[in-house]
Chains A and B, each alone.
Chain A
Amino acid sequence: MDHRPQAWGRPRDDVYGAYDASYLHDSGPKTATQSPVVTGTSVIGIKFKDGVVIAADNLASYGSLARFNNVKRLRTFLNSSVIGFGGDVSDMQYLDRLLSELAIDETYETDDTPEDDEETTKKTHLNAANLHKYLQKLLYQRRSKFDPLWNQILVAGTDGEGKPFLASVDLRGTAFSSASLATGFGSALAQPIMRRYAETDEQAAKLTREEAVAVVKECMKVLFYRDARSLDRYSIAVVTKAGVELAEEEQLEKQSWAFAERIRGYGTQNV
């Protein structure tokens, strides 16, 4: 009998024939993330006169299961930018760690300002445009390694000239910016609504903060009505030159499900 440790716990060759170890060896190409696992749905954002409003709900789904209902998908960076994550939540957590390390690096830069001048310090920090460029390079690099970070991201804040900045980047490194942006389901459901108010930067520059917040809240409601992977609790942030105001426990108000009756297949109705 074979007494070598390698043979312990294995079916005896003399009884069952040679052990087939082929299944242990991975044949075929090395694979990385092929699909996201725990996911967040839409992120939406719109520019206004002096800043940007951005929102995302607090849900992380596991397939169609509403698995975590208290996950914050808007992250602030140095009280000057907000990054909204759609897509894989573990990749979001990885990116969040990366960004907080980047934020710590930025605190070293304050060693460089003569006297404690907050204005100057802020100017030397990475702004939203810089962050967006960084994320774009990072995500493109990862997709080129065939190991993408499975996210769709909105970056909101101000650019180098203090003007409102809103841009998106996805798992392929595709990046663009617009007066209003939405990821995931929102690109189909929320985007047309936001475009009614701000199709161009010029139109966005006429919106007040209150108007922009109202549009975003309206969009979040529409998304909750029609997106089965969404939640009625959400986070919303207003980013201006002065900083970030973030509310993470917002509740959708004044919902009306009257329209639902007219939808075929909804609820218990028989058609």
Chain B
Amino acid sequence: MFRNNYDNDSVTFSPQGRIFQVEYAGEAVKQGSVVVGIASKTHAVLVAIKRNAEELSSYQKKLFPIDEHVGIAIAGLTSDARVLSNFMKQQCLGHRLTYGRNMPVRSLVDMIGSKAQINTQHYGKRPYGVGLLVAGVDQQGGPRLFEFQPSGMTEEMVAFAIGARSQMARTYLEKNVDSFKACGKEELIKHGLRALKESLVQDRELTIDNTSVAIVGVKKDKDGTAKVEPFKVYDGQDVMDWIDSVSDDKENTAPAPATVEESMDVDNDA
């Protein structure tokens, strides 16, 4: 039944010091559709491919606001993501109530990291089957982007992609990593969408139905003080112009084939 004796639960080390159950949970992230996040000096963006279970069904949401200054992108089990997202929302509200400020993004990410780590050390628990990209701004003054893994590992990134075929998106991001810092928000979204396209299956395209974009950032007030530009998700018609701006015609490459409808490879994975 099992691949080996050491992968039955998350409390057993293999002779090489690995915990297979945690690694398998990492595979669940790759079942989800791809999401990309990039941070510049002024903004952080999240972009995502949404899937629909069948032609007439709605598309599974991928980007969620947590608080005014933070939001997440998810890949993997949506229901696990909801648990983490609710937890993060509560923490942010609690912090705002007690201290009257935005919760520092690093503390927030550390908290879900700790929560996830517990699930990898106790029998009868399972690791979360979801990966997150967390984008936000805080007192440090700049936008920040974190990756969260089922193992409880959390790392701050300049840009990252997780989910199905995300390696292609990461390769694109690595090629352009040095240019992100200076990007404005429009440029950043374009980079995000281009990275997303790299990960698309052949014959698939970005459409207003399957693409989500979210932005959070800092803007200077008239008197020069930095203010949070709140986390906002864009769907549907609102993303049309961005999709057009990175369409193959616009990018001066071979025209793409006509839109092919989404396949049926979706269950409860987002």
Enumerate chain A residues within 8 angstroms of B97, measured Cβ to Cβ.
137
Let me know if A123 and B139 touch, CB within 8 A. Answer: yes
Let me know if A129 and B100 touch, CB within 8 A. Answer: yes
Enumerate chain B residues within 8 angstroms of A133, measured Cβ to Cβ.
98-100
Enumerate chain A residues within 8 angstroms of B106, measured Cβ to Cβ.
109, 112
Enumerate chain A residues within 8 angstroms of B57, measured Cβ to Cβ.
none
Report the contact-size class of chain B (Cβ under 8 Å from the partner).
10 to 19
Contact with B along A112-138 (1 / 0, CB 8 A): 110000001001101001100110010
Does B259 sit within 8 A of A, measured CB to CB?
no
Does B202 sit within 8 A of A, measured CB to CB?
no
Does A160 sit within 8 A of B, measured CB to CB?
yes
Q: How far is the CA of A112 from the CA of B136 in the complex (A)?
A: 14
Does A161 sit within 8 A of B, measured CB to CB?
yes
- What is the count of residue pairs linking A and B with beta-carbon distances less than 8 angstroms? 34
What's the minimum C-beta distance from B242 to chain A, rounded to whole angstroms?
30
What's the minimum C-beta distance from A176 to chain B, rounded to whole angstroms?
14
Let me know if A130 and B101 touch, CB within 8 A. Answer: yes
What's the minimum C-beta distance from A81 to chain B, rounded to whole angstroms?
13
Closest chain A residue to B144 by CB distance? A112
Q: How far is the CA of A120 from the CA of B104 in the complex (A)?
A: 13
Let me know if A123 and B140 touch, CB within 8 A. Answer: yes
Q: Which of A38-83 contact B (CB under 8 A)?
A: none
Enumerate chain A residues within 8 angstroms of B138, measured Cβ to Cβ.
124
Does B252 sit within 8 A of A, measured CB to CB?
no
Let me know if B141 and A126 touch, CB within 8 A. Answer: no
Let me know if A130 and B100 touch, CB within 8 A. Answer: yes
Does B107 sit within 8 A of A, measured CB to CB?
yes
Q: How far is the CA of A161 from the CA of B140 in the complex (A)?
A: 13
Contact with B along A85-128 (1 / 0, CB 8 A): 00000000000000000000000010011000000100110100
Let me know if B141 and A123 touch, CB within 8 A. Answer: yes
What's the minimum C-beta distance from A100 to chain B, rounded to whole angstroms?
17
Enumerate chain A residues within 8 angstroms of B101, measured Cβ to Cβ.
126, 129-130, 160
Q: How far is the CA of A130 from the CA of B100 in the complex (A)?
A: 6
Q: Which of B104-125 contact A (CB under 8 A)?
A: 104, 106-107
Q: Which of A124-159 contact B (CB under 8 A)?
A: 124, 126, 129-130, 133-134, 137
Enumerate chain A residues within 8 angstroms of B107, measured Cβ to Cβ.
109, 112
Q: How far is the CA of A129 from the CA of B100 in the complex (A)?
A: 8
Report the contact-size class of chain A (Cβ under 8 Å from the partner).
10 to 19
Contact with B along A12-30 (1 / 0, CB 8 A): 0000000000000000000
Q: How far is the CA of A1 from the CA of B85 in the complex (A)?
A: 70
Contact with B along A202-214 (1 / 0, CB 8 A): 0000000000000
- Known contacts A109-B104, A112-B106, A134 near B140 by CB under 8 Å: no
Does B237 sit within 8 A of A, measured CB to CB?
no
Enumerate chain B residues within 8 angstroms of A161, measured Cβ to Cβ.
225
Let me know if A126 and B99 touch, CB within 8 A. Answer: yes
Q: How far is the CA of A133 from the CA of B107 in the complex (A)?
A: 19
Let me know if B140 and A120 touch, CB within 8 A. Answer: yes
Q: How far is the CA of A129 from the CA of B104 in the complex (A)?
A: 16
Enumerate chain B residues within 8 angstroms of A123, measured Cβ to Cβ.
139-141
Q: How far is the CA of A133 from the CA of B138 in the complex (A)?
A: 18
Enumerate chain A residues within 8 angstroms of B225, measured Cβ to Cβ.
161
Enumerate chain B residues within 8 angstroms of A160, measured Cβ to Cβ.
101, 139
Let me know if B98 and A137 touch, CB within 8 A. Answer: yes
What's the minimum C-beta distance from B220 to chain A, rounded to whole angstroms?
12
Enumerate chain B residues within 8 angstroms of A120, measured Cβ to Cβ.
140-141
Q: How far is the CA of A123 from the CA of B226 in the complex (A)?
A: 12
Enumerate chain B residues within 8 angstroms of A129, measured Cβ to Cβ.
100-101
Q: How far is the CA of A109 from the CA of B140 in the complex (A)?
A: 11
Residues of A whose CB lies within 8 Å of any CB of B are 109, 112-113, 120, 123-124, 126, 129-130, 133-134, 137, 160-161
19 additional A-B residue pairs with CB within 8 Å, beyond A123-B141, A130-B99 = A109-B106, A109-B107, A112-B104, A112-B106, A112-B107, A112-B140, A120-B140, A123-B139, A124-B138, A124-B140, A126-B99, A129-B100, A129-B101, A130-B100, A133-B100, A134-B99, A137-B97, A160-B101, A160-B139
Interface pairs A-B: 8 shortest CB-CB: A133-B100, A130-B99, A112-B106, A124-B139, A123-B139, A161-B225, A137-B98, A130-B101
Between-chain CB contacts (< 8 Å), 30 pairs: A109-B104, A109-B106, A109-B107, A112-B106, A112-B107, A112-B140, A113-B140, A120-B140, A120-B141, A123-B139, A123-B140, A123-B141, A124-B104, A124-B138, A124-B139, A126-B99, A126-B101, A129-B100, A129-B101, A130-B100, A130-B101, A133-B98, A133-B99, A133-B100, A134-B98, A134-B99, A137-B97, A160-B101, A160-B139, A161-B225
